[in-house]
Amino acid sequence: MIETVLVPVDGSAPAQEAVRYTQTVFPDSTITLLTVIDPADGFAGYSGDSGGNWEKRAKAEAESLLEDAQAEFMSPERVRTSTIVGDPVDTIVATVKNEDVDQVVMGSHGRDGIQRLLVGSVAEQVMRRAPAPVTITR
């Protein structure tokens, strides 16, 4: 039985699909919704508004994304949220290890074009490095 599921959330349509998939396939599991703010690149949900402290603004936008995602679940009390500043791949893999996650469900949304050729997609790298099964949604 899958007891704990990690769902990285970045505001993209594939990440929203990952939330819906998780709710449907793992209704009795404990869910962690995670948003990673990459200081080098931001995250898909951060609008890049330069007024004020970028990290404070990015965290506020991340919390809003996580609240919206948490509201999608029938039992939101089984869903916890987390926002971490760091490298997305390293942070997701470390969370899987540190929190003894049984399953990762994440959207396929990632880097495009030359950036993807150089470093690969986040989902692809997590799939290779995570010590738990990874389901990728579109």
Helices H, strands E: what count in the chain? 5, 5
Regarding predicted confidence, which is higher, 30 or 113? 30
- Rounded to two decimals, the pTM is 0.87
Indicate whether 38 pLDDT > 60: yes
pLDDT at 121: 83
What's the whole-number mean pLDDT along residues 61-80?
93
Phi/psi for 45 (5° steps) reads -85, -10
**Strand order in 4-8's β-sheet?**
79-85, 30-37, 4-8, 103-107, 134-137
What's the whole-number mean pLDDT along residues 45-56?
64
Domains of the chain are 4-137 (3.40.50.620)
